[in-house]
Chain A
């Protein structure tokens, strides 16, 4: 069974204090690893899809990386508006569009 574990559950940062969010996974053939951002009361917002170990993608202050067992979401010099829950999900080969999600990491950035 596909599994996704995210750590830590919650993270509090000072504005400008860079950090990384971890996503560990086990999947029967990875087709893609997805990162989403979710604000309270809203649907998840698509950030990145990574497909193979060694791949990296960037968007503003966010950079996602992928290895064969885990993915990291690096946040450089975060701002208060980066506060949200960050979700990681895997798509297994042969699973069509089904995503298996982790429980998410709640990030709070203090001014």
Chain B
């Protein structure tokens, strides 16, 4: 079974621009979560989508947004980029197995804002 895939893997943008990142979850997984990872703050939760609905949101400004499509694929968008948005953006897909919860991460998109 294929894992979580994220595109692009690397991205360089300029301050003020916007960016869209894409995530394809593991087949059969309907929940997709996004995280930001930086050396100083570690992994921080951005938001979660389930069946095309956002059902949880972290403490990030409104410049960070996302959506999920009917095939469970998800995108996140960051508008008006700031230098501090440079980070590894990770997508995770989740499934309840009946006996427990499992959450798998993709390889991430490395965003550099100059």
Contacts and interface: CB of A to CB of B under 8 A. Distances in A.
Given A87-B43, A96-B31, A98-B45, A46 B102 contact: yes
User: How many residues of B sit at the interface, in one of the four size bands?
Assistant: 20 to 34
B100 A98 contact: no
B56 interface: yes
B48 A49 contact: no
B31 A43 contact: no
A79 B94 CA distance: 30
Classify the secondary structure of B's interface with A: strand
Given A32-B101, A43-B105, A51-B100, A97 B42 contact: no
A101 interface: yes
Given A97-B56, A98-B33, A46 B43 contact: no
A96 B56 contact: yes
Given A32-B100, A43-B105, A51-B100, A103 B42 contact: yes
Interface of A: 31-32, 34, 36, 41-46, 49, 51, 87, 89, 91, 95-104
